[in-house]
């Protein structure tokens, strides 16, 4: 299994008055990682518009384990837990870059494939082919 690792730095704008990352920003970090990943694979916004296959979040479950702090370097680790006919389940972890065994939070994000009318549609073959090598579980 191949895991995508997306590096990022916590900025002051991401935190509360105590320098702790605001809880919703963890999901933003994970969204950024998934978006960059799809762009790198040629499945970004332009491809989605042309194909009429868009990716919408169906649900997200997140466990906050430790706080992330201002100016820390983090990594979002991502893989595909499951590929279904019209959806993907991503497993993502946020960890400290300097201490990779320190997991900050874990999430499972279900992404539905929808058409331009917001109806479910089957994943295009290209999506399945490109993402299959990333199937597995992080831990």
Q: Which residues are catalytic?
A: 16
What DSSP string runs through 6-72? EEEE--GGGB-TTSBBPHHHHHHHHHHHHHHHHHHTT-SHHHHHHHT-EEEEEEEEEEE-S--BTT-
Write the CA distances from 25 to 5, 10, 48, 117, integer angstroms: 18, 10, 25, 29
Report the candidate in 44, 37, 126 with the shortest Cα–Cα distance to residue 79. Answer: 37
Report the candidate in 82, 84, 80 with the shortest Cα–Cα distance to residue 92. Answer: 80
Residues 3, 137 contacting (CB under 8 angstroms): no
């Amino acid at each position: 299994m191949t895991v995508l690792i997306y590096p990022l730095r916590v900025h002051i704008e991401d935190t509360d008055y105590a320098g702790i990352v605001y809880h919703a920003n963890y999901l933003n970090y994970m969204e950024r990682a998934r978006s960059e990943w799809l762009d790198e694979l040629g499945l970004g916004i332009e491809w989605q518009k042309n194909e009429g296959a868009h990716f919408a979040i169906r649900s997200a479950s997140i466990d906050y384990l430790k706080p992330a702090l201002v100016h820390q370097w983090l990594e979002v680790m991502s893989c595909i837990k499951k590929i279904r006919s019209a959806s993907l389940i991503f497993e993502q972890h946020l960890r400290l870059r300097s201490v990779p065994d320190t997991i900050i939070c874990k999430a499972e994000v279900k992404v539905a494939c929808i058409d331009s009318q917001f109806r479910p549609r089957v994943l295009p073959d290209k999506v399945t082919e490109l993402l299959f090598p990333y199937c597995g579980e992080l831990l």
